[in-house]
Amino acid sequence: MVTESTHYSLSPSLSLSGWMDFVGDNFKGLVEVGSFLYRAWAPSLYTGVALLIGFLVYFYAPYWRVRKVPGPPATFLVGHLPSLAKYGPDVFRVFAKEYGPVFRFHMGRQPLVIIADPELCREVGIKKFKDIKNRSSPAPASGSPLHQEGLFLTRDSRWSAMRNTIISLYQPSHLASLIPTMQSYAESLSLNVSNAQEEEDIDFSKLTLRMAIDVIGKTAFGVEFHLSKHTSSQKSLQNHYGDVGNNDDEVSGFLKQHMYSIQTLKMDLSSSFSTSLGLIAPLLQKPCREVLKRIPGTGDYKIYQNNQKLCKRIDAIIAKRSKERTHDPKDFLAAVLNARETDVGEKLFSHNYIRALTYEQLLAGTKTTAFTVASTVYLVSKHPEVETKLLQEIDSFGPHEVIPTAEDLQNKFPYLDQVVKEAMRFYTVSPLVARETSRQIEIGGYVLPKGTWVWLALGVLAKDPKQFPEPDMFQPERFDPACDEEKKRHPYAHIPFGIGPRACIGQRFAMQEMKLALIHIYQRYIFRHSPKMEFPLELEYGLVLGFKHGVKLRAIKRQC
C-alpha cells in the first residue's frame, strides 16, 4: 500500500523538508539525464552555433568593410530590396536626400556605395579610373556567359583590348554609312502608325521596340528580322514586349528567346531562386543554379534551357556569316569575324566572346533606344508648346523626302537635341552605373577597400534641383547652350550614357537612330495620349527602365 508520504506531490502545501527530500532523492538521476543529453546534443549544438556565427560573419563581412559610409538600417537577408520594391528607382533619390551624396544601399547581402554627386562621379569615372575600371557583376547576370563575356562585364586588359578593337565600328564615318538602314526602319515605324484606325490606341513603345530590334538585327547581325516591316500576315503584338513576327520560324524563335532573356534580368526577389539566393548568399548561387537548372519546372531550368537555345541560334548565325565574310564588312558581326583573322584577334575573340559581343549589341541597343524614343513622344505629347517648336524646326529643314545626313543631325536640329536630352534626363533609362574597386581608394572622404561595389546614381543626378531647377518639369530649353542654367551646370550632371572610358560605346549610334526616327515620325504625325494612358507613367526596373503598361497614344496625321 502506497502511503501519503511517498506520493510525490508538487502542490504548494508540500513542506520544505519534503522538497529537500524530493530533490535529494532525484538529484543524481537528474544529473545523469542532463549528462546524457549534453553528450548526445553537444556536438550538434556546437556545430549549430559555429555555423550560425560563421554565417553571420560571412553575411555581415561586406557591410563591416564599408560600415562608416552612412545609410539607413538594412533588413536582415534582403537589405534594402523592400525599399526598392516600394519606391522603385526613386529610392536612391529618397536615400540621397536623407544621407547625402555618398551612402550605402544593400542589395541583399551586398552593400553598394552609391555616388550621387557629379564631381564625385567624375572622380570615379575619370580621375581614378585605373583603380575602379571594372564593372561589378550583379546576381542576375552572373550566371550566363552571354552576359559575362561581352564588353559590358569583361575586365581589365581583356576589356581594353576588346574595346580598342571594336571602337572603330562606332566612328563617325561608319555611323554615317548606317543612315540609309536606320532611315528605312524609321519609315517602317511610320507605316505601322499609319495602319492604325482613326482614334485607335497605339502602344507606341511596342512599335519603337520593333524598330530598334530591326536596326540592330541588320547593323549587328546582318540579318533582316522584319518586325517593323508591316505585312498583312503579321500578327498583332503580344506580351509586354510584343510579338516577334511569324515570317521566319528561326528568327521568331531567336527573338522570343531574346525577349525571355531580357525579362529574367531583374534585380529583385521576383527572379529565379538561384538569383534571389545570390542576393543573400552569393557563394551559394552557382552550386544552387547547377542543381536547379537540371530540375524541369524551376525558374533556373527555364532560364538555362532558354539561354542554351539562344546560344545555338546565335552560333548558327555566326557560322552562316563566317561563310559569307567579305573584306568590306557592313555590320558588327562581320567586322568582328574579320578582326579575328589577326594574331591579336585570334587570341582575343574566341567563339564564346564573339557570340557574347554580338548578342550584347541586341541586348544593349534595343530596349534602351525604344524606351527613349517612346518616352520622348510621350513627353512631347503632353507639352504643346514643345511640340510646336519641335515641328517648326523639323519642317524648316526641307522636303520630307530629303534624308538628313550625319552632319545635318549634328548641326541643323539643335532643339531636337535639347528635347532628346531632356527626355533622357526626365526618364533616365539606365539610372545606375556599376563599378568595382580594384584596390583601396578614397572617395568622398570614405576609404573603400578593394572589391567594393561603387555605383553611380545617374538617375539621382538627373533630378538634382541644384543642377536642374524644377527637376520634375519637362523643359528642353534647359539644355540650350545659351541658357544660364546650362552654363552654370556641372559638366557631369547629365551623363545618361555613363562616364569615362567605360561610357556606352554606342551612344552616337543611339542618338543618330533616335533622331532619325523622331524626325521622320514628326514630319507626318503628331500624337495625343489615349484616355487609357496612366499618369504618371508606371515604370519597371530591371537592368534598365521599362514601361509597365506601355505608352498608349493616338496618332493624328499632319496636313503638310
Annotated binding site for heme: 504
**Which grid coordinates are listed for 146?**
552571354
| Chain centre distance of CA 165 | 25
**Which grid coordinates are listed for 335?**
567586322
CB contact at 8 A, 102 and 114: yes
Beta bridge partners of 529: 553
Sequence length of the chain is 560
Instruction: Order the strands of the 453-457 sheet from edge to edge.
Output: 102-107, 110-115, 453-457, 432-436
| Distance of alpha carbon 283 from alpha carbon 65, whole angstroms | 18
CB contact at 8 A, 212 and 204: no
CB contact at 8 A, 538 and 549: yes
| Full 3-state SS string of 369-417 | HHHHHHHHHHHHHHCHHHHHHHHHHHHHHCCCCCCCCHHHHHHCCHHHH
What residue ranges in 267-382 does DSSP mark as E strands?
none
Cis peptide before 469 (omega within 30 of 0): no
Q: Which amino acid, one-letter code, is at 72?
A: P
| Distance of alpha carbon 43 from alpha carbon 174, whole angstroms | 69
Contacts of 57 (CB under 8 A, 6+ apart): none
**Which grid coordinates are listed for 74?**
538594412
Which residues fall in the annotated binding site? Answer: 504
Residue position matching grid coordinates 503580344: 238
Distances 314 to 135, 166, 243, 317, 445 between C-alpha atoms, Å: 25, 19, 20, 5, 47
**Which grid coordinates are listed for 345?**
584577334
3-class SS of residue 111: strand
